[in-house]
């Protein structure tokens, strides 16, 4: 008993010392958004008004070893009416040469290098229910599992302005169910930054592939590529992105749709004094089918246009006025109930 007590005392003393002397560096950031949204769906659906009350709190943790390797991760708490914690963040090792390795929840490199295209601010949208599976994001084919790794090159890899990444993930070991899920994935992505006169140009994209299973049986794989370009000249930013590939969607009741689609996004933003004006468009189309191995015959489509004006009221405080209009087709037929328009007016406080 005496030995056990001595060991317990030593363990407690060690952990206590570690918690004080070896605490990592923590930084925090977050925001609070409060506003009201006015939705006008198409068809026979009635107009609605919704108060948007959203907050998020992010903690970033990092520390550097004696050898110069930085170890970092982060987590986020989001409150959009129901509190949830986003802890799907990797442990990231950044080495002295500038390269990095992400372990667990690493994601897919094709998505990592998708170029950011300017888009409207605000929390406006149409909340209709639809079986339309047209994609709206260029990296829709970039699947991954939690058990994954991603390697990032240092800046100026092989050429000035070039960065590369490669990722791989495998089965998490969870039991197979009637819901389709990614079994394994790989991704390759790159970003190239250059200049043309007074314009800074960023070109990026990637390719990915995933094996998908449902109740232990393989179904058509998820795969795709994306490419995009953005250009910044002074206060003006323009960008365009394109994605193409195959994915899947859970329709409920053990029904899975396989989808072959593509999407184009484009946007522009301009800053003048304390005001930022932004405009973005998205156009996606797809053919989907609930019969494994059989391609769909009719088109789903999603077309949206969004615009916003953001005014910097004070440091960290901004007022936003946003507008969105959406048109959708499901199986070649106009789906008015999931389309329409929406306005948003609100404020954001960030720290």
Could you write out the DSSP letters of every residue in 219-238? EEEEEEEEEEEEEEETTEEE
Residue 10 lies in a domain: no
Could you write out the DSSP letters of every residue in 102-168? EESS---HHHHTPPPPP---S--------------STTTT----SEEEEEEPPTTSSSTTEEEEEEE
Q: Is 201 helix (H, G, I), strand (E, B) or coil?
A: strand
Global pTM value: 0.83
Burial class (CB in 10 A: 0-12, 13-18, 19+), 311: middle
**Dihedral of the CA atoms 86, 249, 126, 323 (nearest 10)?**
70
Return d(Cα 116, Cα 237) in angstroms, integer.
11
Residue 265 lies in a domain: yes
Residue 7 lies in a domain: no
Neighbours of 62 (CB within 10 A): 15
Element (H, E) at 21: helix 2-21
Residue 11 lies in a domain: no
Query: Which residues, in sequence order, are CB contacts of 331 under 8 Å at separation 6+?
Result: 131, 298, 299, 300
φ, ψ of residue 332 in degrees (nearest 5)? 80, 0
Residue 222 lies in a domain: yes
Instruction: For residue 207, give the nearest of 100, 105, 109 by alpha carbon.
Output: 109
Residue 343 lies in a domain: yes
Residue pair 228/204 in contact (Cβ under 8 Å)? The answer is: yes
How far is residue 254 from each of residues 171, 177, 290, measured CA to CA in Å?
A: 20, 9, 10
Residue 62 lies in a domain: yes
CATH number at residue 155: 2.40.160.10
Return d(Cα 62, Cα 57) in angstroms, integer.
17
For residue 99, the enclosing domain spans: 26-350
Residue 1 lies in a domain: no
Query: How do 147-152 and 275-289 pair as beta strands?
Result: unpaired
Tokens of 347: 């404020």
Q: Which residues of 79-112 are buried (b: 16+ CB within 10 A; e: fewer)?
A: eeeeeeeeeebbebebeeeebbbbeebbbbbbbb
Q: What is the pLDDT along the chain (351 residues), one digit of tens a residue?
A: 444 344 344 434 434 444 445 688 999 999 999 999 999 888 777 888 889 888 989 999 999 999 999 999 998 888 766 655 555 678 999 999 999 999 988 999 999 999 999 999 988 888 766 678 888 899 988 988 888 999 999 999 999 999 999 999 998 666 666 777 888 899 999 999 999 899 999 999 999 999 888 776 667 788 999 999 999 999 999 999 999 999 887 766 667 778 889 999 999 999 999 999 999 999 999 888 776 666 777 888 999 999 999 999 999 999 999 999 999 888 878 777 778 899 999 999 999
Tokens of 341: 């328009």
Count of domains forming the chain: 1
Return d(Cα 242, Cα 228) in angstroms, integer.
6
């Amino acid at each position: 008993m005496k030995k056990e007590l001595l060991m317990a005392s030593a363990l407690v003393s060690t952990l206590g010392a570690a918690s004080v002397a070896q605490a990592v560096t923590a930084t925090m950031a977050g925001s609070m958004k409060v506003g009201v949204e006015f939705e006008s769906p198409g068809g026979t659906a009635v107009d609605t008004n919704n108060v948007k009350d959203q907050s998020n709190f992010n903690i970033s943790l990092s520390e550097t070893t004696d050898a110069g390797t930085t170890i970092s991760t982060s987590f986020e708490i989001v409150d959009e009416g129901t509190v949830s914690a986003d802890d799907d963040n990797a442990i990231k090792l950044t080495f002295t040469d500038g390269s990095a390795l992400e372990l667990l929840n690493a994601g897919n490199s094709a998505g990592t290098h998708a170029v950011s295209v300017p888009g409207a601010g605000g929390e406006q949208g149409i909340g209709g229910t639809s079986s339309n599976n047209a994609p709206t994001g260029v990296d829709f084919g970039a699947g991954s599992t939690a058990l994954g790794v991603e390697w990032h090159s240092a800046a100026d890899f092989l050429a000035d302005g070039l960065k590369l990444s490669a990722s791989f993930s495998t089965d998490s070991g969870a039991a197979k169910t009637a819901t389709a899920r990614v079994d394994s994935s790989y991704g390759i992505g790159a970003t190239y930054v250059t200049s043309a006169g007074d314009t800074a140009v960023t070109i990026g994209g990637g390719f990915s592939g995933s094996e998908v299973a449902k109740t232990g049986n393989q179904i058509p794989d998820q795969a795709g590529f994306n490419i995009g370009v953005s250009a910044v000249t002074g206060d003006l930013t323009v960008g365009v992105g394109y994605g193409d590939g195959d994915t899947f969607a859970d329709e409920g009741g053990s029904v899975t749709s396989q989808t072959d689609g593509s999407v184009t996004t484009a946007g522009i933003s301009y800053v003048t004094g304390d005001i930022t004006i932004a405009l973005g468009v998205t156009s996606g189309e797809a053919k989907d089918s609930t019969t494994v191995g059989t391609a769909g015959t009719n088109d789903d489509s999603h077309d949206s246009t969004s615009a916003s004006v953001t005014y910097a009221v004070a440091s960290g405080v901004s007022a936003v006025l946003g507008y969105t209009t959406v048109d959708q087709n499901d199986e070649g037929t106009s789906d008015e109930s999931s389309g329409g328009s929406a306005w948003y007016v609100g404020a954001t406080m960030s720290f």
